[in-house]
Amino acid sequence: MLLEPPIPVLLPHGLFDEDGRCHRQGELRPLTGREEWALAQAGERPGPRAVSALLAACLGRLGDYPRVDAELAACLTRGDRHHLALHLRARMYGDRVTLVARCPAPGCEAMADVDVRLSALSPERAAEAPEVLAVALPQGRAEVREPTGEDDAVLADAQGTRAQRSALLWSRLVVVEGQALTPAAWLSLPARSRHAVALALVEGSSAPDLGLLARCPKCAAWLELELDPFALLARELRGGAARLETEVHVLAFHYHWSEADILALPRARRWRYLELLRNELEGRPLVDGWS
């Protein structure tokens, strides 16, 4: 049986090892039914650890790392994780996606369709991104790095107000004169210094730009949208969960395969077996060239 080949992906940022080498080139395997089902059940916004488990299952290789586990996937930057999600979504459903947004203007509230090409959101970057970004502050030299999946996981578990959680995140991302910061130390920096660090991260980030602008078709007001690639993929898979259950039932009934064996197949393989089964039941010849 022909296998769907992995697709090469070039991460915008990449994973830096202890020797300072950057690993950007990876191979992305198609989702199996098992991953489709897990993501469909992950809720409106899959948590960071669920995303790491998904990426560990889909990334066959990353640079000199022959295998990517959940711990390694959590070390990828948030932008790299979003980049991979956009590739997965484009492979499963196509490069184009239509989002629906409601106009926020008082008295309007018209619905607007926003067409997006995923490849335009995260084009491949030929140049390597730096591991950290340097910022000159009155307090000394600061270095800021891009947030990772592990940072997001820590933040998801943290208690406190939004301001406290924000301070926790920045304290993980920033060092000043080689010294790590506590959340209190981050908040004690002058507002101008904190702004300079945040600006440096925004301007130097390798992450996809997921902020979208569109015009309301009724009143021409600007609509602002923020695309969450994993939430988008989970929502679409959740809409197809009933079909996946039917596919498992049909293949198990006719071939006597276990649910685990069927869910281990990627979508293209499942659909090919269903096509062969339909052709046989309808008395059609098998497609030439398939072996």
- The band of 5, judged by pLDDT with boundaries at 50, 70 and 90, is confident
Q: Is the pTM of this model over 0.75?
A: yes
Q: Is the pLDDT of residue 290 over 60?
A: no
CB atoms within 10 A of CB 106: 8
CB atoms within 10 A of CB 277: 15
pLDDT, tens digit, for every residue of 224-256? 889 999 999 999 999 999 999 999 999 999 999
CB atoms within 10 A of CB 91: 18
CB atoms within 10 A of CB 256: 8
User: Per-residue DSSP letters for 126-150?
Assistant: SSPPPSSEEEEETTEEEEE---BHH
Q: Is the pLDDT of residue 138 over 80?
A: yes
